Amino acid sequence: MTRGRRVLLVRYGEVALKGQNRRAFEDALVGSLKERARRAGLDVAVLRSPGRLFLVPPASAPGPGEAEDGRMERLLSVASRVFGVVSLSPAVEAPLEWDAIVEAALQVARPVRARGAPTFKVEARRANKGFPLTSPEIARELGRALASGLDWPVDVARPAATVEVEVREKAYVFAETIPGPGGLPAGTAGRGVLLLSGGIDSPVAGWLVAKRGLQPRAVYFHTPPYTGEKAREKVRTLCRTLAGWLGAIELDSVPFTSVSEAVFRAGPDRLGTVLMRRFMMRVASRIAERVGAEALVTGESLGQVASQTLPSIAAIDEAASLPVLRPLIGLDKSEIVALARRIGTYETSILPHLDCCSVFVPRHPATRPRLADCLRAEARLPVEDLVASCLSGVETELVSA
């Protein structure tokens, strides 16, 4: 008997609930899975079945071999970081013939048994009502076959392992389910511009909006020579990590030195941070308009620092021409850190490289800055020229995982 083809079963939850948009969401999910696999050197074929996708790795013709295991591992690691994926199971596919299904089940179960699981049960799910056995019958018969074939005791109440089979156009057998990040597929909520500093918060903010389907592009304001190449490299590294979740990400580095110096000179000192944020909003809004993005995204969280009080947020927003999304607004620092660790950005974020705002940080920042005071200070500045000089110096690069 030849070995069954190995495929990766993909479950997607919320996507399936989207009514008439469902097809578009499914297409977006298929698109991101294919694209991300392709970047990892795997040209997968995607089969659709109601509520499921099946990824078929390249050249996964029937047949054993290390190479096939390696490809499946790689595919699993890519697909488990694609938004819209609820969970994944490496499966063996079999035609709808009983002997072939048993053979596939043995192929799946043998290594699980060998790893020492003392007991098991079978769970069956018959999506294809044309198949002659019911789900309980399939489970019982397959359980019998595995119990005798592998000398493996069944324990329906507390099994150490569960072998599952889904009967569709073909049968799919698997013994393992790996969680995905959930959320919505990339780009289904449109595009946004993420203000990405080298800190802990903004990469997490980008990840959270991407999880809800917003495809972010990153904008980083740098202040040479106060901030150096190392700080910029750190932001690139953060983009690389984010790209492991969202696909390749465009990074705009914006020269911000003239703004920081002008703001610093114009004072008053206590408004410095808010004034700089207002310039960032202006520049980011213009970039967003250029690229067709519909929102700005920041890593601000309520009350974390002086520039993150409601009066500051109000003053900052006034300079933006698009909605400003702040997905961290209700999170504690410890919750943000936990997410940063999960995403993989934490270790990079805590590297000690200066960001522009720590160079020009006021000694006594205002916690209740008034918009009128900001406008008065800005009246002494060539606002439009400064914005134009930022925009003309933008350097864009595409960062992949």
Contact positions vs ligand ATP (CB under 6 A): 195-197, 199-202, 219-221, 280, 298-300, 304-305, 307, 355-357
* Shortest reach from residue 197's CB to ligand ATP, in Å: 3
User: Nearer to ligand ATP by C-beta: 122 or 328?
Assistant: 328
User: Nearer to ligand ATP by C-beta: 361 or 371?
Assistant: 361
User: Nearer to Mg ion by C-beta: 57 or 198?
Assistant: 198
Task: Decide if 214 contacts 84 (C-beta within 8 A).
Answer: no
DSSP 101: H
Pairing of strands 52-56, 120-126: unpaired
Is the C-alpha dihedral spanning 265, 269, 273, 278 positive or negative? negative
Q: Is 312 in the site for Mg ion (CB under 5 A)?
A: no
Pairing of strands 191-195, 215-222: parallel
User: Nearer to Mg ion by C-beta: 235 or 377?
Assistant: 235
Phi and psi, residue 171, nearest 5° = -105, 145
* Shortest reach from residue 398's CB to ligand ATP, in Å: 18
User: Nearer to ligand ATP by C-beta: 22 or 342?
Assistant: 342
H-helix segments, 247-366: 257-266, 272-291, 310-317, 333-343, 346-349, 356-359
* Shortest reach from residue 199's CB to Mg ion, in Å: 4
Let me know the angle formed at the C-alpha of 366 by 360 and 370, rounded to the nearest 5 degrees.
115
Copy the structure tokens of residue 61.
Answer: 């013709």
In 57-160, where do the E strands start and end?
87-94, 120-126
Residue 196 near which of Mg ion, ligand ATP, none (CB within 5-8 Å, type-dependent):
ligand ATP
* Shortest reach from residue 332's CB to ligand ATP, in Å: 12
Residue 46 near which of Mg ion, ligand ATP, none (CB within 5-8 Å, type-dependent):
none
Residue 356 near which of Mg ion, ligand ATP, none (CB within 5-8 Å, type-dependent):
ligand ATP
Task: Decide if 239 contacts 249 (C-beta within 8 A).
Answer: yes
| Short-list 398, 7, 33, 38, CA closest to 218 | 398
Q: Which residue is nearest to ligand ATP (CB)?
A: 199
User: Nearer to ligand ATP by C-beta: 144 or 342?
Assistant: 342
**Count of CB atoms situated within 10 Å of the CB of 255:** 17
Residue 37 near which of ligand ATP, Mg ion, none (CB within 5-8 Å, type-dependent):
none
- Rounded Cα distance between 159 and 25, Å, is 36
* Shortest reach from residue 197's CB to Mg ion, in Å: 4
Residue 259 near which of Mg ion, ligand ATP, none (CB within 5-8 Å, type-dependent):
none
* Shortest reach from residue 81's CB to ligand ATP, in Å: 21
Query: Going residue by residue from 196 to 215, which x/- string records binding to Mg ion, judged by CB under 5 A?
Result: -x-x----------------
Q: What is the dihedral of CA 96, 101, 104, 109, to 10 degrees?
A: 150
Stretch that binds Mg ion, among 92-100, 195-203, 316-324, 387-395 (CB under 5 A): 195-203
Contact positions vs Mg ion (CB under 5 A): 197, 199
